[in-house]
Amino acid sequence: MPKEKGSRIIANNKKAYHDYFIEETYEAGIALAGTEVKSLRMGNCSIKESFIGIDNGEIYIHHMHINPYEKGNIFNKDPLRTRKLLLHKYEINKLIGRQKEKGYTIVPLKVYFKDSLVKLEIGLAKGKKLYDKRQDIAKKDMKREAEREFKVKIRAD
């Protein structure tokens, strides 16, 4: 059976980009059971309410929802169970050190397949203030208006 090449996004956390300034990103593997991988291949995953926690020098993702596999019967795991993330020790130590600084947190950004492996992109993030969020919304609105005017001009010509 040939392995698939390329990458395919399963879940994306758009709210993280709205609520945080993402300063660094890391690619982590996830320790999963077989039925969880099959469920992910069907696209049944959500990371909207998930968060990253550090315990005894290891990094875990909490509340990542993976729907149970339909044909998995007794082999299905709890959909919201805590899953271990696989990173190099120096990356974990760097994240632990940066998270201890005031205002920094680690957030999950997206879940995707890289070749045939499930990967999670995590980001070292600093929280945005309310006025920063308003500025981002204003920029998006201006960009949307400019694109709309550009489309109208092209159609008129």
Residues 109-150: tens digit of each pLDDT: 888 888 888 888 988 888 777 777 788 888 888 888 888 887
CA distances from 28 to 23, 109, 132, 134 (A): 16, 11, 29, 32
> 68 lies in a domain?
yes
Alpha carbons within 13 A on the beta-carbon side of 147: 6
Domain range spanning residue 56? 7-128
> 133 lies in a domain?
no
Q: What mean pLDDT, rounded, does the chain reach?
A: 81
> 138 lies in a domain?
no
Which residue type, as a one-letter code, is found at position 47? I
> 117 lies in a domain?
yes
* Residue 62: CATH number of its domain: 2.40.280.10
Q: Is the pTM of this model over 0.75?
A: no
> 141 lies in a domain?
no
Residues 58-115: tens digit of each pLDDT: 889 888 888 777 776 766 766 678 888 888 988 888 888 888 888 788 889 888 888 8
- Is the pLDDT confidence value at 2 over 60? no
> 2 lies in a domain?
no
